[in-house]
Amino acid sequence: MKKINVKKGTVLQRKGDINSKVYLVESGLLRSYIIDEKGKEHIYMFGPENWLVTDNCESDIPCQLYIDAIEDTTINVASKEELLKEGPDLNALLRRLNTMQNRIIMLMSSNAKKRYEHFISTYPNITQRVPLKMVASYLGITPEALSRVRNELSQQK
Amino acid sequence: MKKINVKKGTVLQRKGDINSKVYLVESGLLRSYIIDEKGKEHIYMFGPENWLVTDNCESDIPCQLYIDAIEDTTINVASKEELLKEGPDLNALLRRLNTMQNRIIMLMSSNAKKRYEHFISTYPNITQRVPLKMVASYLGITPEALSRVRNELSQQK
DNA sequence: GTCATTTCTTGATGTACATCAATGTATAGA
DNA sequence: TCTATACATTGATGTACATCAAGAAATGAC
């Protein structure tokens, strides 16, 4: 477990890297994402304070996610083997599973407006910290669509 | 850990149930799903032989998934506490995380055709065992759309 | 503080998939 | 084996969101 500081914009991991690490965010903000065959980014996860960011792949195969820093960030880095040896935090794992389950259900059953509402209730403090287009990318919609959803929501009040 | 046999159609768990269990499928086929506010089913997961089916929620809060049997099924049932005590299978947990990550990425970045192709490569033997409409529900598209995708794919050859 | 670049918004148009409806085809129960 | 019910297919139409384009606003570099 090694503590490092990275500047905004630093790429910690690229698709295809072997032996991808686990990043525990102490302060700042990371994101993990894929780039599809059209060159479009899809954000898989934001990693604010206390979040664990990693590619959930075996450590000896090429990973599929890019991970970079959206803000200047302080991280604790560990290898997966290391974490497995010292016995991982089971409750954290279960919480992670729950978060992913909710995300899948949201993606399957919600329209743009409900996805956004779900997002701001799950990550209330992140909305201000990341550009709208990244939120859109996380939700699986375009920036234009999200802009219109926001408009609609603010007019309702 | 108790072994039980259930008939096709048996509902093992309903939304709102407390203390949801973990079901390890020995033979047969389970599915877990939600019903949205329009009454539409969205299949979260299929559980064929050797799969673990459960709602990833804490055991003392109402669960959100329905779980039922698509075929006559033999299952080993355990409480979550029980499993946690005896030390869960870490590799299985990690594989589960990987599966969910792939599902999320698929839902965010793929159209109907690619979702279906991804599905048949992931679950090649399940396609024959479940009605098309359930596959569609798992993919997040309508039965009509899946029917047309299939048509298109078979004409290409 | 100025200029360049990125981000956000708004409008016009396009498209993938949903919905609705009708018909055909399996499946299951008596 | 017959009938009822669930399931699958096909066509016509609708709609949510994508794409494209242009201008406005914010952000960052020097």
Percent pLDDT > 70 in chain A is 99
Chain B 10-39 residues in 7 Å CB range of strand C:
38
Q: Which of B55, B104, B113 to mutate to test the interface with A (most CBs of A within 10 A)?
A: B104
Tens digit of each residue's pLDDT (9 = 90 or more) over B76-113: 999 999 988 888 888 889 999 999 999 999 999 999 99
Asked if A56 and B101 come within 8 Å (Cβ–Cβ), the reply is yes
Task: Taking residues A143-149, report their average pLDDT.
Answer: 97
Q: Does B81 touch chain A (CB under 8 A)?
A: no
pLDDT of residue A79: 93
Cβ of B64 and A105 within 8 Å? yes
Residue A104 Cα, gap to closest chain B Cα (Å): 6
Q: Does A36 touch chain B if contact means CB atoms closer than 8 Å?
A: yes
User: Looking at the complex, does the CB of residue A152 fall below 8 Å from at least one CB of chain B?
Assistant: no
CATH number of B1-87: 2.60.120.10
Here the tokens at position B141 are 């598209």
User: Per residue in A42-83, pLDDT tens?
Assistant: 999 999 999 999 999 988 899 999 999 999 999 999 999 998
A window 78-137: Cβ near strand D (< 7 A) = 111-113
Statement: the CB of A65 is under 7 Å from strand D: no
Kindly state the tokens that stand for B145. Answer: 């759309």
List the structure tokens of B81: 């506490």
Query: Domain spans of chain A?
Result: 1-88, 89-157
Closest C-alpha among A27, A58, A110 to residue B101: A58
Classify each residue of A85-103 as buried b or exposed e, where b means 16 or more C-beta atoms within 10 Å of its C-beta.
eeebeeeebbebbeebbeb
Report the CATH architecture of A1-88. Sandwich (2.60)
% chain B with pLDDT above 90: 81
Contact residues, chain A, for B34 at CB < 8 Å: 105, 109
For residues B119-148, give the mean pLDDT: 94
